[in-house]
């Protein structure tokens, strides 16, 4: 299986800037995810769609 990665972190962060309501954030993330998937040149005949993030904690 090959995995293609699209880094849309800047787009997500810009759309979420100054948004504090969790429900509004959820909707923005969902819409942005679909927008990125649809506009990606890499999707071709993709059969699966996955979303992920990394969480780092500094102690």
Q: What is the chain's mean pLDDT, rounded?
A: 81
pLDDT, position 56: 60
Confidence label for 59 from pLDDT (cuts 50, 70 and 90): low
Question: Are 8 and 32 within 8 A, CB to CB?
Answer: yes
pTM reported for the whole predicted model: 0.68
pLDDT tens digits, one per residue of 5-42:
788 889 999 999 999 999 999 999 999 988 988 887 66
For residue 22 the two structure tokens come to 């969790």
The structure tokens listed for 47 are 């059969």
Determine contact, residues 16/25, Cβ cutoff 8 Å. Answer: yes
């Amino acid at each position: 299986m090959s995995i293609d990665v699209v880094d849309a972190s800047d787009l997500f962060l810009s759309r979420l800037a100054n948004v504090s309501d969790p429900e509004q954030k959820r909707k923005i993330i969902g819409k942005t995810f679909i927008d990125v998937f649809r506009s990606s040149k890499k999707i071709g005949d993709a059969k699966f769609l996955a979303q992920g993030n990394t969480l780092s904690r500094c102690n």
